[in-house]
Amino acid sequence: MSKELFLEIGTEEIPAGMLPVAMRDLERMIRKALNDARIEFGDVTTMATPRRLVLSVADVAEQQQRQELNLSGPSVKVAFDADGNPTKAAMGFARSNGVDVSELTQQETDKGTYLFLSKVIEGQPVINQLPEMLLKIVSGLSFKKSMRWKDLDVRFARPMHWIVALYGGEVVPFDYANLSSGNTSVGHRFMAPQSFTVNGLDDFVAQAREHFVIVDPEERKQIIAKEIERVAREEGGSLNVDEELLEEVAYLVEDPTPLCGSFEEEYLQLPDELLITSMKEHQRYFTVADEQGKLLPKFITISNTRPKDPSVVVKGNERVLRARLADAMFFWTEDQKSTLESRLESLKNVVYQAKLGTSYAKVQRFTALAETLANQLDPEVLELTRRAATLCKCDLETGMVYEFPELQGIMGREYATIEGEDPRVAKAIFEHYLPVQAGGDLPSDNVGAFVSLADKIDTICGCFGVGLIPTGTADPYALRRCAIGILNIILDRGYRLSLLALIAQAVTQLEDKLNRSAEAVTAEVVEFVRLRFVNMLTGQNYPADVVEAVLSAGFDDVIDARQRVQALSEMKQQHDFEALAATFKRVGNIIKGGVTDAVVESVFEQECEKELFTELQRVQQDVARLMAGGDYPGVLRCIAALCPAVDAFFDGVMVMAEDEAVKTNRLALLTQVAGLFAGLADFSRIAA
């Protein structure tokens, strides 16, 4: 028999951004708890609104699974003394498992004779496990920011008001945050605040709907998407689709109702992105455009209630928006009274970071890095790159960006365009911030890409240099995002450059700020970027051992490293790869660090040594040629062709011969074999 497990945590309004994470955490935690408790279960469903987190687990067994254990203890030599009496080791093992030493058995293993205990743990009724399990889940949910309330020693995203916990419709009793779990939920705060009794998920969803609560966030999202498109059409335009805003708004309301408002046409002279950003970031409004894509003086907002007189709500929203747009118009006019370049000097008075100096100093540093990139990769855009790097932070000193920080880069581009700067410079001022999120847009031009890379590398090196290193989930300077952005830009643009040299230059420019040696900081930054690269490539479904093997052999040239990962991943799928990898892992294990001695043919004692050396000389030439051309599949085929000769060598000789000269010569031969793939991958990291 099985039953549904249901949990609802009722709260005050939780910020929208916290809810998707909480839903994922709820599912992860209940799956782990049930698995650890040996409880069979079916589908797991999580839902959320601003005022509630909901969990349902179908087909939860009524009895834990029976568990049969065969526990290994100490060896017999350790477990008994010379007279055959049990030692503390044997008695401790028995005592920790609740049995007498006489109940232990002896079993032969590859390592000798050991004590064992066969033990059966009978399954207990699940209902007895659930109170403690649910209490741990509720108390274990963590949030980016948590609150304490009243005089309670508990923390949660927002104060709790009720808990529903049911197993097969019956209450699972536990207490938390001065609340006792029950079977009573609450409807919409304003439209149906009365309580109602819950029996399970289906019943809960249906009753919640009657109480003006759409529990499923995906359903709310679909309702909102459909309704705002309808309203936009009725207003004679089309919706500016914004999936990010749609996702957020779906978690802001329990009962979505669209309302359309308007603003004065004079504000349409402001840049579209300014209007869109202002309405999105501050008011969560959707915008409407005409057939040509030009903004209409309309907006759509989603209300969490069904107002008796919608016009009153609309007028309130229009009044708030009008004030913000009036501020924007003022700053737009005032900012144009000074050029971007004239604001550069004032960056000397802006502290970028207390230990790293001013924003002006940062601009000087990454401008030098950007110039290095331009000189190496596209000298024709050197002047444009220098100009873009010089101006890209100047809009931080404008009134518009001071009032609307999310418009940094956007306003710089707009003001640069008005001032007659080269279009590529204006675009780069905006694009140097890209990407702003995982999977986001990347710079579309070398100028913007060079400045973006330089800015991000300086940020990472500067923070590492003064000890501002990410720990756990804490990453206040978004260094992980910077590193991933660097890698994505290089891969997207196909830049063949030395990442290590660029990092070393950035660290050198920061030497007067560092709290330890430049070498140590450089090594830490390189390893930090390497780990991000590992995560990126494994996230693209490349085998983890292949990624580690390749990047351990070097990733200074990011493009080259990815090509090596691709080649080795493809070869790993072939049926004979395992034997090949085992052979070359054996080579690496024997030579360890290798020897520097030259191979002396006259010292060879066996024909297999001579044959391997002959084959090696032939393959070395081919590998060198193919490596130079970046033909890594060809390199791997060449190395694989040497495998039979290497195997024959191992079968025919003892590498560690008693004669020191013979041993050294054989190690020198294997060192040259290992040198074939030294720049390709570390085969010792390939899983068997």
Domain range annotation of the chain: 2-64+126-210, 68-121, 217-335, 351-541, 564-685
3-class SS letters over 446-470: HHHHHHHHHHHHHHHHHHHHCCCCC
Secondary structure class of 631 (helix, strand, coil) = coil
Burial of 54 from C-beta contacts in 10 A (0-12 / 13-18 / 19+): buried
pLDDT value of residue 437? 85
299 pLDDT higher than 70: yes
Query: In the structure encoding, which two tokens stand for residue 181, read together?
Result: 């779990």
Q: Residue with structure tokens 């110039």?
A: 371
Residues 6+ apart with CB under 8 A from 54: 7, 8, 45, 46, 47, 48, 201, 204, 215
260 pLDDT higher than 90: yes
Portion of the chain with pLDDT greater than 90, in percent: 72
Instruction: List the one residue out of 210, 167, 204, 158 whose CA is nearest residue 185.
Output: 204
Q: Residue with structure tokens 């030009």?
A: 294
pTM summary value: 0.78
pLDDT value of residue 66? 77
More confident residue, 256 or 475: 256
Helix orientation angle between 499-509 and 359-377, rounded to the nearest 10 degrees: 150
1 pLDDT higher than 80: no
pLDDT value of residue 105? 82
> What is the length of the chain?
688
269 pLDDT higher than 70: yes
| Residues 604-630 pLDDT 10s | 999 999 999 999 899 888 888 998 898
Helix orientation angle between 632-652 and 558-572, rounded to the nearest 10 degrees: 60
pLDDT value of residue 684? 80
Instruction: List the one residue out of 244, 684, 155, 160 whose CA is nearest residue 441.
Output: 244
298 pLDDT higher than 80: yes
pLDDT value of residue 639? 86
Supply the CATH classification number for the domain 564-685.
Answer: 1.10.730.10
Long-range (24+ apart) CB contacts under 8 A made by 465-469 are 465/356, 465/507, 465/510, 465/513, 465/514, 465/515, 465/521, 466/353, 466/355, 466/356, 466/513, 466/514, 466/515, 467/515, 468/353, 468/355, 469/524, 469/528
Instruction: List the one residue out of 274, 271, 289 whose CA is nearest residue 235.
Output: 289
The type of residue at 259 is L
pLDDT band at 108 (very low <50, low <70, confident <90, very high): confident
Q: Are 421 and 358 in contact (CB under 8 A)?
A: no
Q: Return the percent helix, strand and coil in the chain, to nearest 5.
A: 55, 15, 30
- Give the mean model confidence (pLDDT) for residues 328-345: 95
| Residues 160-181 pLDDT 10s | 999 999 999 999 999 999 999 9
- Give the mean model confidence (pLDDT) for residues 209-223: 97
Q: Are 36 and 95 in contact (CB under 8 A)?
A: no
377 pLDDT higher than 90: yes
| Residues 453-493 pLDDT 10s | 999 999 999 999 999 999 887 888 999 999 999 999 999 99
Distance CA 115, CA 105 (A): 6
Q: Are 439 and 418 in contact (CB under 8 A)?
A: no
| Residues 418-434 pLDDT 10s | 999 999 999 999 999 99
More confident residue, 119 or 301: 301
The type of residue at 252 is L
Distance CA 284, CA 118 (A): 62
pLDDT value of residue 675? 86
232 pLDDT higher than 80: yes
Query: In the structure encoding, which two tokens stand for residue 483, read together?
Result: 């590193």
Q: Are 271 and 232 in contact (CB under 8 A)?
A: no
- How far is the CA of 612 from the CAs of 590, 669, 670, in angstroms? 16, 8, 9
Supply the CATH classification number for the domain 351-541.
Answer: 1.10.3210
More confident residue, 538 or 77: 538
Q: Are strands 170-171 and 44-49 parallel, antiparallel or unpaired?
A: unpaired
Portion of the chain with pLDDT greater than 70, in percent: 99
The segment with the largest mean pLDDT, out of 74-78, 229-233, 601-605, 656-660, is 229-233
Q: Are 198 and 181 in contact (CB under 8 A)?
A: no
For the chain, what is the mean pLDDT?
A: 92
pLDDT band at 508 (very low <50, low <70, confident <90, very high): very high
Instruction: List the one residue out of 310, 289, 294 whose CA is nearest residue 240.
Output: 289
pLDDT value of residue 688? 60
Helix orientation angle between 499-509 and 446-465, rounded to the nearest 10 degrees: 60
- Give the mean model confidence (pLDDT) for residues 334-354: 95
pLDDT value of residue 472? 80
Instruction: List the one residue out of 112, 29, 40, 48 whose CA is nearest residue 78.
Output: 112
678 pLDDT higher than 90: no
pLDDT value of residue 338? 96
pLDDT value of residue 69? 66
Q: Residue with structure tokens 């955490």?
A: 25
Q: Residue with structure tokens 């279960």?
A: 41
- Give the mean model confidence (pLDDT) for residues 293-300: 94
